[in-house]
Amino acid sequence: MITTNNEEYLILQNCFLVGFKQYKLNRKIYKSNISLKEFVVTGEEVIKRTKQKSEKRYLGITIVIPLGILLRNKIPVEWLWGEK
């Protein structure tokens, strides 16, 4: 976080639930001694990265589930779990 006085702070946040009104998150704030402007991330960048990750997950799920259904009767159980 960069204030209007150009003071820089680091915010430690251990939870990804950001922006939910009903949840109060305890965050630790530390004042920075060095300039961290090159590492600043805007809210739009975070939203874009999150959307890209979720799109990849949906693509993987849509591929894996049908393949699992098709292959479950083709692969012998012994290959997966060993001899009984």
Q: What is the pLDDT of residues 19-61, one digit of tens each?
A: 555 666 677 888 888 887 787 777 888 888 888 877 777 777 8
Among 27, 38, 28, 26, CA closest to 2: 38
Q: Are 18 and 11 in contact (CB under 8 A)?
A: no
Return all residues near 2 (Cβ < 8 A) that are at least 6 apart: 8, 9, 37, 40
Return d(Cα 40, Cα 2) in angstroms, integer. Answer: 9
Break the chain into its structural domains and give their ranges: 9-33+42-77
- pTM for the complete prediction? 0.38
